[in-house]
Amino acid sequence: MNWRRQVKDKSRDEKRLDAELRFHIEQQIADYVAEGMRPEEARRRARMEFGGMDQVKEEVHEARRGYFLETLLQDVRYGLRMLRKNPGFTTVAVLTLALGIGANTAIFSVVNGVLLRPLPFRDPGRLVGIANGAYPRGGLAAMRQEVRTMDVAAYADGHEFNLTGTGEPLRLSGTLVSAEFFAVLGARAELGGTFSRGQDEAGRDAYVILSHRLWQQRFGGDASIIGHVIELEGVPRQIVGVMPADFRFPSPSTDVWIPLGIDPRNATSYWADDYMPVIGRLRPGSTIEQANAEIPLFQAHVRTMFPWPMPADWNRGLAVVPLQRVLVGDLRARLLILFGAVVLVLLIACANVANLALSRASTRAKEIAIRTSLGAGRWRIIRQLITESVVMALAGGALGVALAAGGLAILKTSFPADTPNLADIAIDWRVLAFTAALAIVAGVISGVVPALQASRTDLTESLKSGGRGVASGSRRARRALVLGEIGLAVVLVSAAGLLIRSLWALSHVNPGFRTEHLVTARITPNESFCDNAERCVEFYREVVNHVRALPGVSEAAVINTVPLSGRVNKRAIHLEGERESLPVLPLVWENVVSADYFQLMRIPLLRGREFTEADGTGKPPVAILSAATAGRFWPNEDAVGKHIRLADRSEWCMVVGVVGDVLGYNLERSVPPWMDGTIYLPYGPMASSENHRMPAEMTLAARTNTSESRMTEPVREIVSRLNQESPVSEVKTMAAVVSESTAAPRSITSLFVAFSGIAFILGAVGIYGVIAFFVGQRTREIGIRIALGAQRRDVLKMVVREGMSLTLAGVTGGIVAAFALTRLLSSLLYGVSATDPLTLGGVALLFAFVALAACYVPARRAMRVDPVIALREE
């Protein structure tokens, strides 16, 4: 409380201090007089020894507690007055900082929500996941028995179910979970309960838990829903609970959670289907280090439990890590790259504001000189100027928060829908604290160079000439700041250029099929519908025939996994000859298609023939391979006429054709990296086996000159007429499917383009400002040159040479930095090197062009200098 009294009683303290100082001076004078000195000489000597009264008072004030806060408040008030006196400078500087701080606030909001905020579960610090590894049901069952450091659970998302018997059939997104799933997470149901031990075993698993969204939309929020039975895929399941609205694990799109249905008697489902991520909760007293020591031992043992040899690299590099890190995955690197980009934008903004402040310093040189002559020390001057800069940055921070709040909703759409905590990302107290700290740092960064420069004031020159010496002395600092601006801007624009070229290459890659006038629709009867293979074949034959007869439709076919849809259907195969004895069977992507599919998709036939209607009977069994698959299995041989056998069938299929490769997994790969190729089978009994149902879910593809909106209702009417319990969903053009596959790179590219655009504009403004300053400072010299006969074009060359030399130095430094930093983007690039010389050279030319444009206005002003007026002003 002492400092508050001191601030309040400042006037009284000042009077006491003044009286005390005068008393000491009078005493000193009296002592000198007593020694025989004349009174006038004694007074002069005492004044000299004490120094200036104001300086002594300042030293006393600095030694007093509470002085720092007192002077800080003075500096803030004075800074606000100075900013109000210069509204033009203040507006430009605040807006510049607001852009940089706002971009950082928006990106940090995402970083905070995704990487820093704890998961919304009980004691999230003890939740872990097994990275770089996945286990089937049998592996999970063994892990439950053998692992001692943690309680484990597993889930398999991406499953779909038909909800029937409650009105119009509805396609739901579901996740299969182990019984411990909710207990491990520490999640409670909003209504009812969760699964109990043993309810994930086959025969005891007829239960379901609903999402809050499904409960509200389909069941009207009926509180008595617990215990009711609904049909999913024709299987009755009892509702045991409804999860809260904020429970969105593992995906916000999950509608239902269903028990795994673990059945040790079924080797395929127990050891082959659904390789699942495993999560865990560390048991009391256990640590991640202990869990990491235990898991490799379990991995070595579980490999011996499989009924077939496992690849040597299966689950290689697995590790127990915090669950949040597993859920974030590759998004962590992307967020940190984006965060680094916006930090560069802020540094450029700070350099720009520092340049503005240096220009303004020339008008304040006389003020600084007067304050110095009155006893203000250099540190006091520096602190005052930096305080003004911080006040200005805090204003920019407040505006930046408003900009970030407005753009956050748009920013969130740039990230995948299953991003952890995406819906909860907001500007909270952590973000506000970060923004405040960032604004203070930005204020110091943008104010320190102008403050140091201004504090070196030459008193004589400043008081005599009004400060031209200060402005002249700041030239080197201004050049250094602009060099930094240009260099950082070059790095950002280079990164944006690389991403643009990568996106262009990705968007123009040939997927192996034609997308024009192609509409797709997912048709999903219950799986049990295809227990009768003939019924299923006849159903889809009728669907194709009826759709083909629609107005505007020329061709139609069906496939179980349409390219780039995100669905993958794997199958192990045997190859004829010595390859059949391979220790690990090749794994291929199984596409089940109807006749005319290749013609519809315009997939070229390279050798052999396409499927016919007769091939659907499976007599004789036939298959078609992609070109890359045929070359891999039979290099330097013709694959047509060779034989393969599906791992769970006894018949051998003859390869009757080889077709062009299709980019089915993404626009970079035909198949996932863990697969060996692509196989096509005709839709019919051949696609089923003892352990594999014939695909019930198929995608209809039709080539038509009408839009997808006009195709939706006719297709639904046809399907409903043939089978009332078959929902039709995901009606979209194939062009839209391809476009969606580039959504992630397109979003990060757009963000980089926006940030680099800001950096580019600020860099151009910086070049203009320095050249304009250069012309202003050399007005007298230019006037003399013109008076002595220099041509206007010589003046133009001088100004342009100054600007281009500055730009060349900045661009050179930026290109060198880009060579080092753009390598961080390697994982985000396709078809272009991180040090692509064409992109970096184009950026250099772009900045050279902008530098010329920025030099134009100052150069014209220099050419028009009147030597008489220039000399008279001096």
Core vs surface per residue 690-722: b (16+ CB within 10 A) or e = eebebbbbbbbbbbbeeebeebbebbbebbeeb
Which amino acid type is present at position 729? S
Q: What is the pLDDT of residue 72?
A: 66
Higher pLDDT, 434 or 690: 434
State residue 89's pLDDT score. Answer: 77
Here the tokens at position 617 are 């009977």
CA dist 102 and 435 (Å) reads: 8
**Which of the four pLDDT bands, split at 50, 70 and 90, describes residue 59?**
low
382: confidence class by pLDDT, cuts 50, 70, 90:
confident
Give the confidence band of 436 by pLDDT, cuts at 50, 70, 90.
very high
User: What's residue 571's pLDDT?
Assistant: 85
Q: What is the dihedral of CA 384, 390, 396, 399, to 10 degrees?
A: -110
For residue 832, what are the CA distances in angstroms to 196, 814, 826, 837? 52, 20, 9, 10
Integer CA distances (angstroms), 370 to 317, 364, 387, 471, in order: 69, 10, 19, 17
Tell me how far apart the alpha carbons of residues 207 and 213 are, in angstroms, rounded to a whole number.
18
Q: Give yes or no for residue 276 having a pLDDT over 80.
A: yes
> How would you classify residue 51: left for phi > 0, otherwise alpha for psi between -120 and 50, otherwise beta?
left
CA distances from 451 to 380, 457, 470 (A): 10, 11, 12
Amino acid at 335: L
Q: How many CA atoms lie within 13 A of 20 on its CB side?
A: 9
Contact 175, 259 (CB under 8 A): no
Which residue in 316, 362, 213, 733 sits closest to 520, CA to CA? 733
Residue 383's contacts (CB-CB under 8 Å, 6 or more residues apart) are 71, 75
Chain position carrying tokens 């350099």: 351
Coil/strand/helix, residue 569: coil
Please check the confidence at residue 209 and state whether its pLDDT lies above 80: yes
Residue 596 DSSP code: T
Cβ contacts of 441 within 8 Å, gap of 6 or more = none
- Whole-model pTM: value is 0.80
Q: Which of 495-499, 680-684, 800-804 has the lowest mean pLDDT?
A: 800-804
Residues 180 and 211: beta-carbon distance below 8 Å: no
Helix, strand, coil % over all residues of the chain, rounded to 5: 55, 15, 30
pLDDT tens-digit profile of 628-649? 999 999 998 999 999 998 887 8
Residues 281 and 128: beta-carbon distance below 8 Å: yes
Rounded Cα gap, residues 371 and 459, in angstroms: 10
Sign for the pseudo-dihedral over CA of 197, 203, 205, 207: negative
**Which residues touch 752 (CB under 8 Å, ≥6 apart)?**
338, 341, 492, 495, 496, 499
Average pLDDT over residues 803-832: 86
Lowest pLDDT segment from 3-17, 534-548, 764-778: 3-17
pLDDT of the residue at 334: 85
- Banded model confidence at residue 566, pLDDT cuts 50, 70, 90: confident
Sign, CA torsion 596/597/603/605: negative
Q: Residue for token digits 């018997």?
A: 165
Tokens 């799109």 found at: 253
pLDDT of residue 467: 44
Cβ atoms 384, 75 nearer than 8 A: yes
The single residue listed with the structure tokens 């940190």 is 336
Query: pLDDT tier at 179 (50, 70, 90 boundaries)?
Result: very high
Strands (E), 81-228: 127-131, 150-164, 170-177, 191-192, 207-210
* Per-residue pLDDT reduced to its tens digit, 701-735: 999 988 888 888 999 999 999 988 889 988 999 99
743-754 pLDDT tens trace: 888 888 888 888
- The confidence score (pLDDT) of residue 622 equals 93
257 phi and psi angles, rounded to 5 deg: -115, 130
Helix (H, G, I), strand (E, B) or coil at 235: strand
685 pLDDT more than 50: yes
Query: Measured between alpha carbons, how far is 342 from 42 in angstroms, rounded to an integer?
Result: 65
pLDDT, greater one: 727 or 62: 727
In the chain the first and final C-alpha atoms are separated, in Å, by 56
Q: Is pLDDT at 580 greater than 60 in this prediction?
A: no
Residue bearing tokens 């006849």:
538
Mean pLDDT, residues 377-394 taken together: 78
Radius of gyration for the alpha carbons in the chain, expressed in angstroms and rounded: 38
Angstrom distance (rounded) from CA 447 to CA 351: 9
At 88 the pLDDT is 76
Contact between residue 703 and residue 735 where contact means Cβ atoms under 8 Å apart: no
Instruction: Provide the residue type at 751 as one letter.
Output: L
Element (H, E) at 268: helix 267-271
Distance (Å, rounded) from C-alpha 657 to C-alpha 291? 50
Question: DSSP 3-state assignment of 585?
Answer: coil
Q: With pLDDT > 70 as the criterion, what percentage of the chain qualifies?
A: 84
C-alpha to C-alpha distance for 502 and 829, rounded to whole angstroms:
5
Residue 656's pLDDT is: 95
| Helix and strand numbers, DSSP H then E, in the chain | 29, 21
The model's confidence at residue 417, banded by pLDDT at 50, 70 and 90, is confident
- Tell me: pLDDT of 668 over 50: yes
- DSSP code of 229? E
Strand partners, 236: 231
Confidence of residue 3 (pLDDT cuts 50, 70, 90): very low
Q: How far is Cα 67 from Cα 75, in angstroms, rounded to an integer?
A: 12
Strand pairing partners for 156? 176
Please give the structure tokens belonging to residue 398: 């407040």
Banded pLDDT at 135 (limits 50, 70, 90): very high
Return mean pLDDT, the chain: 83
Q: Which of 679, 697, 723, 415 is nearest to 565 (CA)?
A: 697
Q: Say if residues 253 and 173 touch (Cβ distance below 8 Å).
A: yes
Contact 463, 366 (CB under 8 A): yes
Nearest CA to 358 among 480, 535, 235, 506? 480
CB 763 within 8 A of CB 847: yes
Position 241 scores a pLDDT of: 95
Q: Are 825 and 341 in contact (CB under 8 A)?
A: no
Strand-strand pairing, 518-523 and 278-282: unpaired
Distance CA 464, CA 462 (A): 5
205: nearest Cα among 196, 214, 213: 196
- For residue 578, name the pLDDT band (cuts at 50, 70, 90): low
